[in-house]
Structures are given as C-alpha cells and as structure tokens.
C-alpha cells in the first residue's frame, strides 16, 4: 500500500516485516526515530521481539552478536560515533560469520561535532567484512532491509549487512513509500533463519576463539571469499524481490541514461535523486550524460563498474566521504578497478562534497560537471568550499 | 512541482506542519516530500521546514531556495531571517501577523518583494480563540489551503485529525476551517 512515511518509519516498518527476535540499540541522532518506532512496536505487541536496552553502542552490537550466535534474527541501528564505537564488535560479528542486519543512519564524525549527514562513518568500516548497501530513497531503504536479511542469512554468505541510509536527508524525510501488505509474502521471500552452528548447550560450539598463526590466515581467506562471493547473492536477492514484490532499484549497481553517454556521474545514496534531475535537464539540452549508482559498496562490484564505464570519456565521482591523507575513496577504487583491467581511456575525477550536511544543490552539480570535464586525475578534491571562511582563523 | 518553505521557531510545530501538508497533498492524489532543515532543535530558535508537491515522483533532495510559497509562523523572525529570499515572482508569502503591510515590507531589505505577494493573516488571533493556545501551525494550514488552492481543506482537516487524535484533532481541524473561511471572506466572529 502506498503511504506517506518518514524514512525512519519506513525502515522500522520494514524491520517489523522481517520479524527479528532480538533488537538492541542505543539512541543516537539521526538514527533515534527508527529504534523509537521499533521499541513502540514491541511494547504494543505489534512485533514479537525482545528489545534490549543498553548503555552504549558497543553493548548494543554485543547483544545482537550474542543473540545472533544463538541462532535468532537480530537488528540494530546506529550512526557516526556510535558506529565507530561498535566497530570492534562488528569486526567480530563478521569474523564469527553472524548474519546481523544493522542500519547506519549516515552521519558525519567528530570533531567538530556534527549531527548532519555524510558517509564518513560507514566508510570507516569498509574493511570490516560487513556487506555495505546504500539506499537512494526511502522506498529503497524499505526494500533493502528485507533484501539485507536474505543476503546475510544465505548459508554461503553468513555475514553482517549494513544498510546505509543518509541521516536526516532520508531518515527524517516524509515521502511516498509503497509498503508490503501481507507479512506472509515476506515470510515466503525470507524463510526463517536456519543456522548450521549456534550457541546451544546441548551441542556446544565456541565462537570467536583464538586463531593461532596456523589457522588465522585461512579463516580470513574464507571470510574474504564469503564477502566476494556474496555479489551473486545480492543480485539474486534483488531479482527475487523484483519478482515477488515488483520493486527493483538495482542490485550491485544501477545505470541511468548511460546508453550513448560520454560523461557519467558516479555516486551513492540520496544525492543520486538530485543528480538524476540535473541529468534529465542536461539530456533535454542535448548533453550525452548519465548516472552510475553504486548500490553495493562492499563487496565492491569492480567488474560491473568497469563494464558500465569502459566506453565513456569522463567519470565524475561525487562522494560524501574522504580518506584523510589519501583523497577520494570511491574514486580511488574505481580508478584501481579500471587500471587492473588495463583500461586507461576513462578520465576519472573524484570530488568530496556535502560533508557534515552541506546541502548539495542542482547548481553545485552543474558547476561541478563543467569543471570536471576540463580536469584530469582529480583525487578527492573538496568541492563547494566557502573561500571567505577559509581565510578566517579556526 | 511546487515548493513550500516554512519558517518558525523551535516548538511551534513547523516540521509537523510540513509533514501534515505532505500527507494532505498525498490525499489529494499528488506525490509529496517534507523534511526539516535538519538543525539541532532548540525551543525558540529559528527553524525551517520544507515541503514539495508534484504530479510525478519527487527525486530531488536539496533544500528549498526558490520557493513558490513561504509561510512564516512568527512575525518576529522577519527581522533576523531572510524569509522572502528566493521567493518566485508568482509566489506568495504568508505571514502570521496583525501588523500593517507597510511596516512588514520594510524588513525585507535586499529581498525585494512585490506587495501583492505578501499575505498577512491573523493566525494567532484565530488560534487563541479556537484552541486557546498560541500554536498557529494548524490554523496556518487552513489559510494555506484557502490562499494557494494547492491542497484541499478536507485533506488538511483529515490529516490534522489523524495526527492529533480525536479531541485535539477536532479543535485543530476547526481552527484550520476557521482560517480557511476567514480567507474565503467569511470572517464571522473575527
């Protein structure tokens, strides 16, 4: 049914449909509404789950780790400093191969303190072994959480999935979302969790014990294979979802008006909406331009990206994150993927924009396109700076 | 697509107003979007909320700089916040005030504005009479419906009632209706 929902409400409703048994979270802006709604659902009896109150994000992640190891479906959500505080536990969840799903309401990291949106928080966990999917709008956020469990719980995967949703820009925006009317359909798409190894007093196993030098390399190799091989499972999850619910927002990547394009803007998350509107206007004016959406950031869909970009001239990468001391993250990985395959005809320029909630306007995007097409090998240049402010002392 | 910018102070229900507006647009069969200005919410501090309405799905996410409509909940904001900034020539600026238009216009400084674009509306007076409280968001929603014709008063009242529950919802819907009637020239009782 089509409804007008706040992003957080859409996400919590989608989680309700997946019927997790244990939810644990510590409130942090802009994630708060999501877990408030879930807590209300549990209190009202609309969701039969245990909602565990904790004193920190580290504990929240630890609760879902423990519960997941017992073989039940679990959920948590966080943002920014909260995610950084969870980081240690998330590496453990991945290493123990537990199918936890968590929402990251993407927010800038301190200092300075910023409650506003960018993707520096989830990028800090890119090497953790957690799958990272990024939603473009609230419909996709709704659909993606259901797909996330399908991917995480696949016996070949068994990994945490982070669903990245732009804080405020999506979590606090009301828009039209089509929800699933019948929970039975979700149960059909997402059968009950059935883990091969669980914490069971009648059949004891240990999780996360010491991996001596004689075995550690192999366990990490298998973890690495599991996340790399999850690409096909992510694609299947998207296709099966389309078949059952009629919604498809891409799988690993998605292309928009790229057929004949000379220039392509590459981005992740909610900024894609504004970019697509700009691209429509430029197309009407006769410019051959398209958009490449990265929907799965981990595993990194290198083959799919190269395949999509190999015949174009300019790739303009817009990212709301930066690797301090290096430059662009997404742009660097795209350039690496092209280099590995010996494709040197694509001019990749990467720009850092919108950090800490700085609004990205259509004019910013027009201005960037004009500038980027004249440049080469830009690696994470900050775009949209207020030069007046830079001349002042901080 | 039409864009609405709401100026208020923390605690006046600007974000609530934007979301009720979005829900009402949807009830009228349109696509909609509503979002706050994402600030740290503090009582009394200037806040903004935004709403968009369109016949087709809305993708863009940037804040609203060239609104078709601006609603100002608290007239004292006009001395410190450029409420008229970017307003389209064909746009409307709706201000809750009983002050004289000439006095109001003086405050816009660089943001030149056509006098006919400004609509002064005594939302506080109506709200005090019906709600007994200086909360003007629902009253302004009724006025918005009457002034702009972008949303039906029935949808606005329905969503106000859905939002505030039976008792509070009913009197707030009455306030919206009274504002609507006031604008439509039936200033009975005011």
* Cβ contacts of A332-340, under 8 Å, gap ≥ 24: A332/A379, A332/A380, A333/A300, A333/A302, A334/A266, A334/A305, A334/A309, A335/A379, A336/A302, A337/A300, A337/A302, A337/A303, A337/A305, A337/A306, A338/A306, A338/A309, A338/A310, A340/A302
- The DSSP result for A96-130, as a single string, is TT---EEEEEE---SSSP--S--SHHHHTTTTSS-
Number of CB pairs < 8 Å for A and B? Answer: 68
Q: Quick one: A120 and A141 in the same domain?
A: yes
Q: Quick one: A170 and A272 in the same domain?
A: no
Question: pLDDT at position A128, please?
Answer: 98
Of A205, A229, A245, the residue at which a domain comes to its end is: A245
Q: Quick one: A241 and A258 in the same domain?
A: no
Chain B closest CA to A266's CA: distance in Å?
16
Please give the residue of chain B at the shortest CA–CA distance from A363: B62
Q: Quick one: A40 and A162 in the same domain?
A: yes
Give which of A136, A89, A72, A101 is closest to A271, Cα–Cα: A136
pLDDT tens figures, A33-56? 999 999 999 999 999 999 999 999
Q: B71 by DSSP, 3-state: which?
A: strand
* Structural domains of chain B, ranges and CATH numbers in brackets: 2-183 (3.40.920.10)
**Residue B118 β-bridge partners:** B93
Q: Quick one: A25 and A104 in the same domain?
A: yes
Q: Quick one: A258 and A179 in the same domain?
A: no
Q: Quick one: A218 and A238 in the same domain?
A: yes
Chain A closest CA to B19's CA: distance in Å?
7
Q: Quick one: A64 and A208 in the same domain?
A: yes
State whether B59 and A116 contact (CB < 8 Å): no
Question: pLDDT at position B115, please?
Answer: 86
Q: With beta carbons under 8 A apart, name residues in chain A contacting B63.
A: 359, 361
Q: Quick one: A212 and A291 in the same domain?
A: no
pLDDT tens figures, A69-88? 999 999 999 999 999 999 99
Q: Average of pLDDT values for A265-294?
A: 98
Contact A281/B at CB under 8 A? no
Of A115, A172, A273, the CB nearest to B40: A115
Query: Alpha-carbon distance A227 to A125, whole Å?
Result: 14
CB contacts under 8 A, B 149-178 vs A, are none
Contact A116/B at CB under 8 A? yes
State whether B38 and A117 contact (CB < 8 Å): yes
For the domain that residue A277 is a member of, what is the CATH number?
Answer: 3.40.50.920
Of B32, B57, B61, the CB nearest to A274: B61
Question: pLDDT at position B112, please?
Answer: 72
Task: Please list the pLDDT of chain B residue by residue as tens digits (190 residues).
Answer: 999 999 999 999 999 999 999 999 999 999 999 999 866 668 889 999 999 999 999 999 999 999 999 999 999 999 999 999 999 999 999 999 999 888 888 888 766 788 889 999 999 999 999 999 999 999 999 999 999 999 999 999 999 999 999 899 999 999 999 999 999 986 555 5
- Cα angle, residue A236 at apex, residues A142 and A276 outer, rounded to 5°: 55
State whether A169 and B38 contact (CB < 8 Å): yes
Give which of A369, A317, A315, A381 is closest to A343, Cα–Cα: A315
Query: Which range is least confidently modeled, A232-246, A363-377, B90-104, B174-188?
Result: B174-188
Please give the residue of chain A at the shortest CA–CA distance from B35: A173
Question: pLDDT at position B187, please?
Answer: 59
Strand B31-36 vs strand B46-54: parallel, antiparallel, or unpaired?
antiparallel
Of A245, A261, A290, the residue at which a domain comes to its end is: A245
Determine the structural domain holding residue A201 and report its residue range. Answer: 2-245
Question: pLDDT at position B103, please?
Answer: 86
Q: Quick one: A315 and A293 in the same domain?
A: yes
Contact A211/B at CB under 8 A? no
Question: pLDDT at position B153, please?
Answer: 98
Q: With beta carbons under 8 A apart, name residues in chain B contacting A3.
A: 26
Using CB atoms within 10 A of its CB, is residue A280 exposed (0-12), middle (13-18) or buried (19+)? middle
Question: pLDDT at position A137, please?
Answer: 98
Q: With beta carbons under 8 A apart, name residues in chain A contacting B59.
A: 137, 272-274, 276-277
Chain B closest CA to A198's CA: distance in Å?
42
pTM exceeds 0.90, yes or no:
yes
Q: With beta carbons under 8 A apart, name residues in chain B contacting A172.
A: 35-36, 38
Of A176, A273, A359, the CB nearest to B26: A176
What secondary structure, in 3-state letters, does A179-190 show? CCCCHHHHHHHC
Q: What's the structural domain count of chain A?
A: 2
Question: pLDDT at position B43, please?
Answer: 85
Work out the number of other CB atoms within 10 angstroms of the CB of residue A296: 24
Given a contact cutoff of 8 angstroms between Cβ atoms, the answer to whether A77 and A49 are in contact is: no
Q: Is the peptide bond before B74 cis (omega within 30 degrees of 0)?
A: no
Q: Quick one: A49 and A150 in the same domain?
A: yes
Strand A2-6 vs strand A174-178: parallel, antiparallel, or unpaired?
antiparallel
State whether B22 and A273 contact (CB < 8 Å): no
State whether A174 and B60 contact (CB < 8 Å): no
Q: With beta carbons under 8 A apart, name residues in chain B contacting A273.
A: 59-61
Query: In chain B, what are the helix, strand and coil shares in percent, each to the nearest 5?
Result: 40, 20, 40
Contact A173/B at CB under 8 A? yes
Query: In chain A, what are the helix, strand and coil shares in percent, each to the nearest 5?
Result: 40, 20, 40
State whether B60 and A273 contact (CB < 8 Å): yes
Of A200, A220, A245, the residue at which a domain comes to its end is: A245
Q: Quick one: A353 and A220 in the same domain?
A: no
Contact B32/A at CB under 8 A? yes
């Amino acid at each position: 049914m089509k409804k007008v929902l706040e992003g957080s409400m859409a996400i919590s409703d989608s989680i309700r449909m997946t019927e997790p048994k244990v939810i644990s979270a510590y409130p942090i802006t802009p994630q708060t509404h999501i877990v408030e709604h879930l807590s209300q659902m549990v209190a009202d009896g609309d969701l039969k789950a245990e909602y565990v109150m904790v004193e920190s994000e580290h504990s929240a992640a630890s609760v879902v780790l423990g519960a997941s190891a017992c073989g039940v479906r679990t959920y948590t959500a966080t943002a920014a400093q909260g995610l950084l505080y969870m980081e240690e536990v998330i590496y453990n969840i991945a290493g123990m191969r537990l199918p936890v799903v968590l929402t990251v309401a993407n927010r800038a990291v301190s200092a300075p303190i910023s409650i506003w949106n960018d993707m520096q928080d989830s990028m800090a966990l890119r090497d953790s072994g957690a799958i990272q999917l990024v939603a473009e709008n609230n419909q996709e956020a709704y659909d993606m959480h259901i797909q996330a469990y399908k991917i995480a719980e696949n016996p070949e995967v068994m990994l945490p999935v982070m669903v990245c949703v732009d804080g405020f820009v999506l979590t606090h925006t009301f828009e039209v979302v089509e929800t699933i009317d019948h929970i039975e359909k979700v149960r059909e798409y997402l059968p009950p969790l059935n883990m091969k190894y669980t914490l069971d007093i009648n059949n004891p196993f240990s999780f996360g014990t010491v991996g001596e030098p004689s075995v550690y390399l192999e366990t990490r190799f298998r973890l690495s294979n599991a996340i790399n091989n999850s690409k096909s499972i992510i694609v299947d999850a998207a296709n099966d979802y389309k078949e059952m619910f009629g919604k498809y927002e891409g799988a690993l990547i998605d292309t928009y008006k790229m057929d004949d394009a000379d220039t392509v803007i590459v981005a992740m998350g909610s900024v894609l909406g504004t970019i697509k509107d700009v691209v429509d206007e430029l197309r009407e004016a006769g410019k051959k331009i398209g958009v490449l959406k990265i929907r799965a950031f981990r595993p990194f869909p290198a083959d799919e990206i190269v395949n999509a970009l190999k015949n174009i001239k300019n790739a303009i990468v817009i990212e709301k994150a930066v690797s301090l001391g290096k430059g662009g993250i997404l742009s660097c990985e795209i350039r690496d993927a092209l280099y590995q395959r010996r494709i040197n005809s694509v001019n990749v320029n990467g720009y850092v924009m919108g950090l800490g909630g700085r609004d990205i306007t259509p004019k910013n995007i027009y201005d960037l396109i004009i500038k980027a097409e004249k440049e080469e090998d830009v690696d994470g240049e900050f775009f949209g700076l207020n030069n007046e402010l830079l001349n002042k002392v901080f | 697509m039409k864009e609405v910018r709401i100026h208020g102070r923390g605690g006046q229900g600007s974000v609530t107003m934007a979301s009720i507006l979005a829900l009402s647009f949807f009830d009228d069969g349109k696509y909609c979007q509503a979002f706050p200005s994402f600030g740290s919410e503090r009582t009394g501090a200037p806040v903004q909320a935004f709403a968009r309405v369109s016949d087709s799905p809305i993708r863009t996410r940037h804040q609203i700089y060239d609104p078709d409509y601006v609603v100002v909940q608290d007239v004292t904001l006009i001395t410190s916040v450029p409420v008229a900034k970017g307003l389209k020539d064909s746009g409307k600026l709706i201000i809750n005030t009983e002050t004289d238009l000439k006095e109001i216009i003086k405050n816009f400084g660089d943001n030149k504005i056509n006098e006919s674009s400004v609509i002064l509306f005594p939302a506080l007076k109506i709200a005090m009479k019906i709600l007994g409280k200086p909360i003007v968001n629902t009253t302004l929603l009724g006025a918005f419906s009457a002034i702009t014709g972008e949303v039906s008063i029935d949808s606005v009242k329905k969503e106000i009632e859905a939002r505030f529950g039976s008792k509070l919802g009913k009197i707030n819907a009455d306030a919206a209706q009274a504002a609507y009637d006031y604008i439509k020239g039936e200033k009975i009782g005011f």
